[in-house]
Amino acid sequence: MRIVQITDLHVGREGEETYGVDVRANFLNILQAAQKWQPQYLVLSGDLCYRSGETGIYTWIRQQLDEQGIPYEVLSGNHDDPAMMAKAFGRESLLKNGELYYAREWNGRKVIFLDTTTGMVSGQQQGWLREQLQHMEHEAMIFMHHPPLMAGVPFMDSRHALRNRGEVQAILLAHPFNVHVFSGHYHVEKAVRKQNILVHITPSCFFQIGQVSEQFQVDHYRIALRDINWDNGVMMNAVHYLNGEVQH
C-alpha cells in the first residue's frame, strides 16, 4: 500500500500575501510530484489554511484533489476548522462532537486519523483511540497533525507542542506492536522514537523552520512530500523535496 503524505499547505485566500510564498503554486506542484509515486491514497495532514479555516480555501483545495483521481483523506490542524473542513469535503458524517477523527480500512489494514485542532487529543478521542488499538494485532498507522513526542526543535517544542502528549503517549505505549505516527505541524523533517512509538514529521508545503534556534527562524523554502510504503509488515518511507515558489 502506497500513501503520499502532504502537510501544512497554509493556503491563503485568493491573492492574500503569505510571506512571499506562492502557497497555491506550491500545492499544485506537490500534487503533480505526488503522481510520480503512484500512490493509492493521499493524506493531507492538517493546516490546509493559512491562518484559520475558510470554506473558500477548502473548496479550492478539494477541487484540486478531486482532479487527481486519487482517494484522499484530510485532517484538521491548529489553523483549520474541523466542522467547516468536514462540510467542504462532504465528510460531515465523520464528525464526532465537532471533531474530525476516524479510521479507514485500507488494503485490509486499519489506518487512524486524529484531530488535534485544539493542540490536544480530547478525552473522548482518547477513549476512541484506545478502542481502535485494542483489537489490532499488528503495528498501527496513525496520522495526526501534532507529533505526540517532543522533537528536539526548541522553537516548536517550547511553544507549539501537543499539550497532553503524555496521555497520548501512554495509550500508544500500551500497544504491543510498533505505532507509526505521521505528523506535520513542526515544518521540519525529523524522525523521533520512544520505545514502540515512531514519529515521522513531514516538512511543510509553505517553508521549513530552523531546528536549532529558540526563536522563530526560516530554515529554507523547499517543500516536500512523504512517500510511505506499507506492505507485509514492512514500513518504508522517505521525504522528497521540490523547490518552492518564493519571491525573495
The site for Fe ion (CB under 5 A) is made up of: 47, 77-78, 185
Residue 120 burial by CB count (10 A; 0-12/13-18/19+): exposed, middle or buried? middle
Q: Which is nearer to Fe ion, 133 or 144 (CB)?
A: 144
Give the strand pairing for 109-113 and 72-75. Answer: unpaired
For Fe ion, the nearest residue by Cβ is 185
Nearer to Fe ion, 24 or 185 (CB): 185
d(CA 11, CA 21): 10
Are 116 and 145 contacting, i.e. CB atoms less than 8 angstroms apart? yes
Please say which residue, 47 or 81, places its beta carbon nearer to Fe ion: 47
Q: How far is the CB of 160 from Fe ion (least distance, A)?
A: 7
Q: Give me the least distance between CB of 131 and Fe ion, in Å please.
A: 26
Tell me how crowded residue 60 is: count the other CB atoms within 10 A of its CB.
18
Q: Cα–Cα distance between 115 and 101 in angstroms, integer?
A: 5
Residue among 129 and 188 whose Cβ is closer to Fe ion: 188
Minimum distance from residue 186 beta carbon to Fe ion (Å): 8
* Closest distance to Fe ion from the beta carbon of 100 (Å): 15
